[in-house]
Structure 1
């Protein structure tokens, strides 16, 4: 095997590994953003439930006139 060919193959392998790591880091960043959004949504939902338990009569009826 030629040394130059082996060097090029090793270099290509390193580049592919770096690209894979970069894609993985972006995926992790996206997952972290989704986690933050989900936690924010869950905290908002629990505050709505607390408000509803404090005032259960609100929002239970709808008056409609035609």
Structure 2
């Protein structure tokens, strides 16, 4: 068994794990920011504005029959 080869493999595994953790931390930070923004939006607007944003086509026209 080549000690240098094993050492390189372990080192490469550590680097890959650190990179994966770094990407995960960035994704978690982004999700946290989006959650905070959503909470702020929910607390500052009323439900009518939220419903209009979700379904903007509703309420623009009325069908009448005479």
Q: TM-score surpassing 0.5?
A: yes
State the Cα RMSD in Å: 2.2
Shift in CA distance, 27/59, structure 1 to aligned 2, threshold 3 Å? closer
Which structure has the larger Rg over C-alpha atoms?
Answer: 1
Please identify runs of 4+ aligned residues in structure 1 that moved more than 4 A: none
Higher relative contact order (CA 8 A, sep 6+): 2
CA distance in 1, matches of 2:13, 2:35: 33
TM-score (norm 2): 0.71
Q: Which runs of 5+ in 1 are unaligned?
A: 1-5
